Amino acid sequence: MKIKLTAPLQVIMAIAALTICSSCNQTSRNTYSLQGTWKMEGYGKIIDITKTSVNLYDTTKVSCVPKETVKLQDMGFLGQFKQIAQDTLIISSGITEYRLTRTASLPGRCNTDQSSNWDPGYNFDVFYHTFLENYAYFKTRNVNWDSLYKRKRAEISKQTTPAKLHQLLTEMTGHINDGHTAIAMPDELHKTSTATAEESPAGPSLKKLRDHVLYKNVKKPTMSGRDMLGKGIINWGVIKDNMGYIQINSMICYLDFKIPDSVTGNAYWEQYTSHLFKEPDVQTKEAAIAGKFIGKALYELRNTKGIILDLRFNGGGFDLVSLELLKHFVKAKTLMFSKQAWTEKGLTKKQLIFAGLSAPTYLAPVVLLTSKSTASAAETFTMGTMSLPNFKRVGCKTEGIFSDALPKKLPNGWEFTLSNEIFTSASGQNLENIGIAPHVYAGAEDLKTIMTSDAAFEAAVRELGNLRNVKN
């Protein structure tokens, strides 16, 4: 999920954590023993399973950082475990299968003295190595990581303060310029920072923008669900000439935890995730509610001559939600995209992601509105529609951040994320840092111009009319 406009950094961190820490509360039933040490291919993680607990570690060639420990009976919160051989384990979560191989024991560095955990230089080195061993897009984003490391490392000494260290790490991620790559503000530094999502003019204005489009164009809009900006996660209705309009504003926040309407912004997100982390199988539950919302919308719009599907305000969420939504626009099982993890030795095995049929379906013409703020899981939805002949894209390029945000932790406890996956379209295109281009460019990249003139929406209406005429 992206940082700008749609949500604060903790949104990215939470989604990143939930990506590998939520799924079906099941384990495989066979004669193999799960106990032992397992190395995850392509993600820099080790899982150590004992008789009583499951212990996760973030590892590099120079570090082994304890990440999380859960009781053995709660291992379903980490995913669906399936042991396919004595030395091979698959953990499924969301749309992804993580492959692990058994190792003899934990690396020796996992059992060493932890006295250096607060050393600024050591933490900086672990940060550097984590990216070096996992980040997939240095070449794509034209970043010389080694050169950047040498320049910034020279500024660090034993006396470097936490604030200075955080500043340097933030500068490192800033050079990468990747919406899925960032370091969170540590608790001990929060009191020195006054910036919040509520104080940003982009936060409340985004809600105003999406509501403006909805109420200006839809005769009697239906609004379902809510996110951190307020009511209306999926909204729909009929516009002129019997055309339908659906606005999908997020790929997360579909569950209803009865949070008061007065709570918005960061406060809403903190309450929402506090409930979400307690739920097993959260991605499947989110996708199920999203499926109900889109199903109701498509049923009510079943007699329209075409639909404008607006993703311009959608910064992402769960890919599983995107996949569930896509299922309502296919007429048969269809390849949407594929994904692989990057490693220093090459890519992991390609995973093909298909969308099966889910009723009700809508096969009439659809014009998909996208913007620079269409990001992450909203982009995987957009990538999936590239396989669907009845879709036409109008607007601006999407942001170009497809990879999951891989969650990591430094020895001092600070959390950060990075992009380690390669997503490719059904036709084999990797569009990271490029974005998905529309068929018809329309409107400005700055969404605030919508308040005075919505050229992209007007173009979508024209294109849908043309598609309808061709179909008829």
The per-residue pLDDT for range 69-116, each reduced to its tens digit, is 999 888 877 888 888 788 999 999 999 999 999 999 999 989 876 778
pLDDT at 74: 85
pLDDT at 83: 83
The H or E element containing residue 130 is helix 120-134
Percent of all residues in the chain with a pLDDT value above 70, rounded to a whole number:
89
Q: Is residue 222 domain-shared with residue 334, that is, in the same domain? A: yes
Q: Is residue 105 domain-shared with residue 179, that is, in the same domain? A: no
Residue 409: inside a domain: no
pLDDT category, 301, cuts 50, 70, 90?
A: very high
pLDDT at 116: 80
d(CA 109, CA 176) in angstroms, rounded, equals: 29
Q: Is residue 307 domain-shared with residue 364, that is, in the same domain? A: yes
Q: Is residue 294 domain-shared with residue 435, that is, in the same domain? A: yes
Instruction: Say how many domains are in the chain.
Output: 3
The per-residue pLDDT for range 263-292, each reduced to its tens digit, is 999 899 999 999 988 888 899 999 999 999
Q: Is residue 126 domain-shared with residue 64, that is, in the same domain? A: no
Q: Is residue 121 domain-shared with residue 106, that is, in the same domain? A: no
Q: Is residue 140 domain-shared with residue 287, that is, in the same domain? A: no
CB contact at 8 A, 394 and 368: yes
CATH number at residue 259: 3.90.226.10
Q: Is residue 250 domain-shared with residue 391, that is, in the same domain? A: yes
What is the 3-state composition of the chain as percent helix, strand, coil, each rounded to the nearest 5?
35, 25, 40
pLDDT at 91: 93
The per-residue pLDDT for range 337-390, each reduced to its tens digit, is 999 999 999 999 999 999 999 999 999 999 999 999 999 999 999 999 999 999
pLDDT at 192: 55
Q: Is residue 75 domain-shared with residue 173, that is, in the same domain? A: no
The range of the structural domain enclosing residue 53 comes to 9-111
Q: Which of 110, 106, 159, 178 is nearest to 406 (CA)?
A: 178
Q: Is residue 212 domain-shared with residue 138, that is, in the same domain? A: no
Residue 416: inside a domain: no
d(CA 141, CA 332) in angstroms, rounded, equals: 37
204 has pLDDT over 60: no
Angle of helix 162-176 relative to helix 145-153, nearest 10 degrees, comes to 160
Q: Is 7 exposed, middle or buried (0-12, 13-18, 19+ CB in 10 A)?
A: buried
Entry pTM: 0.91
Q: Is residue 40 domain-shared with residue 168, that is, in the same domain? A: no
Q: Is residue 426 domain-shared with residue 373, that is, in the same domain? A: yes
Contacts of 34 (CB under 8 A, 6+ apart): 27, 49, 81, 83, 89
pLDDT category, 16, cuts 50, 70, 90?
A: low
Residue 197: inside a domain: no
pLDDT at 185: 86
Residue 413: inside a domain: no
Q: What is the mean pLDDT of the chain?
A: 90
The per-residue pLDDT for range 130-145, each reduced to its tens digit, is 999 999 999 999 999 9
